[in-house]
Amino acid sequence: MKRVGFLLKVKPDKIAEYREHHKAVWPEMLDALRRTGWHNYSLYLHDDGLLFGYFETPESFQAALEGMNQEAVNARWQELMAPYFEGLGGAHADESMVELEEVFHLD
């Protein structure tokens, strides 16, 4: 299982709304994530908007992203979420995630 970490930045004035959306993620979005290999997925949000994401996937970060790219629900979710993030330059958040290098892990 590959462990993946990534960062994004939520606009400070959108943090409360962003949190609310994640209290009620669409069931079809959750199903798509599971189906495409996003396991043990967590998002952590700092009060300045820095967002850290973590998940585990059987193959690779790229394969998990490509799987979600094939899901129609993901396109709708990404459109909904796009206004919440800084620095995307017109891209969707899932197109702007940069995988972090794992430098330590304790089982």
What DSSP assignment string belongs to 30-68?
A: HHHHHHTT-EEEEEEE-TTSEEEEEEEESS-HHHHHHHH
Query: Interhelix angle for 72-81 vs 27-35, to 10°?
Result: 120
Catalytic residue among 21, 22, 39, 92: 22
What is the number of alpha carbons within 13 Å of residue 106 lying toward its C-beta? 0
Q: Which long-range contacts (CB under 8 A, 24 or more apart) does 40-43 make?
A: none
DSSP secondary structure code for residue 82 in this structure? G
Q: Is residue 22 among the annotated active site residues?
A: yes
Which residues are known to be catalytic? 22
